[in-house]
Every structure is written in structure tokens, then in C-alpha cells.
Amino acid sequence: MTSRPDLDRLQRRIGYQFRDPERLLLALTHRSHGNHNNERLEFLGDSIVNMVIAEYLFQHFEKAREGQLSRLRARMVKGVTLAEIGREFELGNYLRLGSGELKSGGYRRESILADAVESIIGAIYLDSDFETCRAQVLRWFEHRLKGLNLQDTQKDPKTRLQEYLQSRQFPLPKYDVISVEGEAHAQTFHVSCALPSLDRTTTGVGSSRRIAEQQAARNALKALGVEEH
């Protein structure tokens, strides 16, 4: 969180020593810190991690269909997973943030941590080559990738609810935020899922609106008897 963090410890944590440490410093610089920031590196890193994970899944799940592969990849490269990796590296201690983001706890924010992980991947690629970068990505994701199986390819609750309603020509559900509790860096969202044509409304709670909506949709599927409690 300092303006010029000590990068030696971080490089040991991520398992890569930069030939040009300025690339790592840039990867840790959020746009709130100034115009010279990690947004372009994030763009590059996002493309690389998607490619590396897609290649791994293609090679390790030979019987998986395209849709199953897509859902497995989405599970791996989503912001929640990337932010978890960022926390494992304690990236929050090294981010360069503007004063506003610092005051609001931006060093703990999921989206900022996820973006920084992708930026570091982009920086490693520029500092080395694709093979080196691929090895790093696979090492970071190793235990998550090994835990995957085709049972993880079931569609998310919101998609399942939407498809159930559409197959019966019912209107789509309406999601609304009921309330938001907590500080900006640790909020809890309460969301409703209304099914007017079926006279049902369920609720969900989560650390983001997306998570709360998924829970509300899952509860709706249970209330409709589509899925077991």
C-alpha cells in the first residue's frame, strides 16, 4: 500500500524474479494512483490466463463438450478465484492506490485484487516468454485445477432458473437489492428474486450482488420444487 513497496518478498511469494522490477511495480499500480497504471497489463494478462486455462482443460477433459469446457474455464478465471489468489500472495500489502481507494479499503476489494493478479501475469509475459508465463499460471492455479471434474459444469442457479421459466413461457425473474450492509470493503448484499407469474419471491444474501442473486435464484428453484433442499 506504500508508494514504493519492497518487491523482493512479493517476488518470492509469486515464484518469479523479474528482470525488470518496474514491470511488477506497474502491475501493482491501480488507475486511482495515476495515468501510468496497470490497465493495459490487465488486458494482456486476462487474455493469457484464459488461453492457458482453456488449453489445460482441453487437454485434461477429452470427453467434455464445448459448453462444459466454457463453464469450467469461467469458474477458474472469475474474479472471485483471481482475488483468492491475490489474497494468498498478500497483494493488498503491495498495491499502489490513490488516497480515495486507500481510505475506502481498496487494497481488500475483490475486483482490484483480481485485476492486479491479471496484471502481474501480463507483466511476467513481457518480462520473459509465453512458456515461462504458462508455467507460472498453472502453478498458481494448480490445486484448483486438480480439484475440477465434469460435475462442476452444471449451469449456475440464475441460468437454470431462467431456462426453467422460459421453457414454460413464464416471465423472467426480477432481481432487486433490498439492502446493503457494512463498510465499502466488506459489504453484505440482501437481494430479492420475484416471480410475479408464480406469486413467489425468494431472497439471497452474499458478499456481492452477484453472489446474493445466485443464492436467491437457488432458493427460487427449491421453492418451485425444481431442486431439492
Binding annotation for Mg(2+): 42, 115, 118
Q: Specify whether 46 is catalytic.
A: yes
**Is 131 in contact with 42 (CB distance < 8 Å)?**
no
Verify whether residue 8 is a known catalytic residue: no
Q: Give binding residues as ranges.
A: 42, 115, 118
**Catalytic residue of the set 101, 118, 127, 213:** 118
Q: Are 14 and 120 in contact (CB under 8 A)?
A: yes
* Residue 104: φ, ψ to 5°: -90, 10
Classify 18 as helix, strand or coil: coil
Q: Where are the beta strands (DSSP E) in the chain?
A: 174-181, 188-195, 200-206
In angstroms, what CA-CA distances link 154 with 37, 48, 75, 114?
A: 37, 25, 11, 24
Q: At 24, which helix (H) or strand (E)?
A: helix 21-27
Listed residue (177, 1, 137) closest to 57, CA to CA: 137
Cα–Cα distance for residue pair 131/148, rounded to 1 Å: 23
From CA 218, how far away is CA 197, in angstroms rounded?
A: 18
Active site residues: 46, 118
